[in-house]
């Protein structure tokens, strides 16, 4: 098989993966899958130590908070076939509240597609800028998407320091 055929097969596979991606609004019944993806990603994060990851992941214990996000935010899910591979939400006003992609799906354009969807929703609501509090791990992605750091946040949760970045994008 020559290089052209191999490249053609790779490109068809990549298009197939994108076509099989489905986006929809989250529902209350999605909570368990959302929490599972969130916790797995946080615990696998290599930019924070074990104590920081445990504290961050413990937010899954506040089910009421998560249910309120699902009900009250523009909360988007990304599925490949029937598998949840990512989620994102546009919170109150001009705030990208959540952006998580399953670790083994990184680099496949899922976060990019979700963020584009969130930004389009913001524009439909006449917003001219968006803010996000972004983890150390997510900073590069948001910078590539046109966001810039406004300040470094030094959050304390359960006595543990969690660094992230307030980022902003103007449309």
What are residue 23's DSSP bridge partners? 78
Burial of 117 (0-12, 13-18, 19+ CB in 10 A): middle
Assign 13 a pLDDT band (cuts: 50, 70, 90): very low
- Give the end-to-end CA distance of the chain in Å, rounded to a whole number: 46
Encode pLDDT of 43-58 as tens digits: 999 999 999 999 999 9
Q: What is the pTM of this model?
A: 0.86
What is the structure's pLDDT at 93? 83
Encode pLDDT of 103-134 as tens digits: 999 889 999 999 999 999 999 999 999 999 99
User: Which domains, and CATH codes, for the chain?
Assistant: 23-170 (3.40.630.30)
Backbone dihedral angles phi then psi of residue 46, each to the nearest 5 degrees: -95, 0
């Amino acid at each position: 098989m020559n290089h052209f055929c191999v490249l053609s097969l790779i490109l068809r596979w990549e298009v197939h993966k994108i076509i099989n991606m489905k986006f929809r609004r989250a529902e209350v019944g999605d909570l368990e899958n959302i929490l599972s993806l969130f916790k797995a990603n946080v615990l696998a994060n290599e930019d924070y130590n074990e104590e920081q990851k445990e504290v961050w992941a413990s937010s899954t214990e506040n089910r009421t908070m998560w249910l309120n996000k699902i009900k009250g935010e523009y909360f988007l899910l990304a599925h490949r076939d029937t598998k949840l591979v990512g989620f994102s939400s546009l919170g109150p006003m001009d705030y990208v509240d959540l952006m998580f992609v399953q670790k083994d799906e990184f680099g496949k354009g899922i976060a990019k597609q979700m963020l584009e969807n969130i930004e389009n929703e913001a524009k439909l609501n006449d917003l001219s800028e968006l803010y996000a509090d972004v983890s150390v791990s997510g900073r590069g992605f948001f910078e590539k998407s046109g966001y810039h750091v406004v300040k470094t946040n030094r959050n304390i949760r359960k006595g543990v320091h969690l660094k992230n970045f307030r980022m902003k994008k103007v449309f």
